[in-house]
Structure 1
Amino acid sequence: MNAEQDLSTRERIMQMLKTMGELSTKDITAQLGITGMAVRRHISALERDELIESTTVRLPMGRPTAVYRLSAKAEDFFPKKYHAVALDLLSELEGDSGQEMVNRLFDLRKISLLKKLENKMQGRDLEGKVAMLSDIQNENGYMASWEKSGHEEYILTEYNCPIYQVANKYNHACSCELSLFKSLLDAKVERSDCLAKGGSKCVYHIRA
């Protein structure tokens, strides 16, 4: 069985656990129509990746058996359309209170993020701050990387934008991110490319 087929089978197991609740190896084997050995191999891989967890239950007859369920981490595997809800809410706010109120909301988010993150930058030189910012953005799904481009000059690149749909409609979100970076890094920051404006990535040029 190739890697693509393995992934497909594991996805099916996760779909089953999502829709049917806790299942034993025997239950999964019966549903998929593959060998118990193959099911155990997939379960082992899913446990290794912390996508499922197990509980041992006692049966009226026979030995105790393990039943499997999705872990909290597995929720990220399933599609979420938070952006659609966010866009609806922002559209309602814009219709009720105007564009300025929407911009104010993004400004407040920037202030909140600054308070939350600025302590992580304390005691670091500019390179250390850029590296930390890249780590923070990676944790938030931005697929970020950084490199040094000259003396006290750096380039931070983001290949993904988790709030793309929101930022595409409300560009002030991008302005707030740029302002946040300037404050966190205490440096000059310019953006040359932007995903929300049709670019293939977001690129920030940082200078002391």
Structure 2
Amino acid sequence: MQETRQQILEFLKRHAEATVQELSDELRLTSVTIRHHLEILRAEGYITDPQVQRCNRPGRPCYVYRLTAMAADLFPSNYCGLAESLLAALGGLEPAQRGAVLQAAGRHLAAGGATLPEELEARLTYICTYLRKLGFAPRWERDAAGREQLHIYNCPYEHLVPQHPELCQMDEIFLRELTAAKVERLSGAAYEGEPCIYRITWPEEPAPQ
């Protein structure tokens, strides 16, 4: 990120919003230069279009700029460190307590899904779409008997799973809740480059197509 634009973003992060004049005073640059950088940031999707705001003095209205949700990705985050700390705390629980937490986490992940379609192909498409949004890179296959298998080619927690294999247990719970079906893990470890393969058995399994 170019230095002046980085400074503008940091100012908006600290103050939530700013006018061209406020940015000009802060960075000691002309308003023309500030507007040039604001236009670039706006085109890149990091700041909003200028919004009219009532000024404390009479005259022309003030226009303020704010960060967009997309700009949040430009600032440091520590989600992985947070997850590592929570998982370390989880490891100190009794097995029954740990299982209850994983069960709740799996159900929470599945809760964002909607009611599954009745028609099989629509159901498979919906499940794949939902998993893709969560970063799983899924694909449906059928085995020699015509039963559905779910292949997962990306593990969203690949940096955590080697030290915390209980996340795989959470995923099985999540998939069971999401599909409303029996889920059996057959093989694989997506975090090691091999797809995780699950056999999905529906409560009333449709005939192979």
The bucket for the TM-score relative to the shorter chain is: 0.5 to 0.7
Measured against aligned partners, the alpha-carbon deviations of 1:139-197 in whole angstroms (never above 9, x if no partner) come to 33x15243556766555434351x445433321221221343245333655342321xx
Alignment of 1:45-60 (within 5 A): 45-46=43-44, 49=45, 51-52=47-48, 54-57=50-53, 58=55, 60=57
Letter in 2 for 1:39: H
What is the rounded CA distance, in whole Å, between the counterparts of 2:162 and 2:98 in structure 1? 14
- Normalised by the length of structure 1, the TM-score is 0.66
Paired residue for 2:163?
Answer: 169
Identity %: 17
Aligned length: 193
Letter in 2 for 1:134: C
Shift in alpha-carbon separation, 1:131–1:175, aligned structure 2, 3 A:
same
Shift in alpha-carbon separation, 1:174–1:54, aligned structure 2, 3 A:
farther
Measured against aligned partners, the alpha-carbon deviations of 1:114-137 in whole angstroms (never above 9, x if no partner) come to 4x2564324141x43332223223
Measured against aligned partners, the alpha-carbon deviations of 1:19-78 in whole angstroms (never above 9, x if no partner) come to 3442223444563858245224224325xx375364323252541121112245544543
Letter in 1 for 2:161: A
Letter in 2 for 1:101: Q
What is the rounded CA distance, in whole Å, between the counterparts of 1:28 and 1:101 in structure 2? 52
Paired residue for 1:63?
Answer: 60
Paired residue for 1:137?
Answer: 131
Which structure is higher in helix share? 1
Cα RMSD after superposing both structures: 3.8
Kept in 1, the 8 Å contact 2:153–2:190? The answer is no
- Normalised by the length of structure 2, the TM-score is 0.66
**Stretch moving more, 166-175 or 9-18:** 9-18
Matched, 1:184 2:178: yes
State the secondary structure of the residue aligned to 2:197: strand
Letter in 1 for 2:91: E
Shift in alpha-carbon separation, 1:64–1:85, aligned structure 2, 3 A:
same
Kept in 1, the 8 Å contact 2:42–2:49? The answer is no
Letter in 2 for 1:85: L
Measured against aligned partners, the alpha-carbon deviations of 1:59-108 in whole angstroms (never above 9, x if no partner) come to 5254112111224554454333234334334433533x334422331122
State the secondary structure of the residue aligned to 1:120: coil
Letter in 2 for 1:181: L
Kept in 1, the 8 Å contact 2:136–2:154? The answer is yes
Which segments of 5 or more consecutive residues in structure 2 lack a partner in the other structure?
202-209
Q: 1:94 aligns with which of 91, 95, 98?
A: 91
Letter in 1 for 2:116: M
What is the rounded CA distance, in whole Å, between the counterparts of 2:113 and 2:43 in structure 1? 38
State the secondary structure of the residue aligned to 1:44: helix
Which segments of 5 or more consecutive residues in structure 1 lack a partner in the other structure?
none
Paired residue for 1:159?
Answer: 154
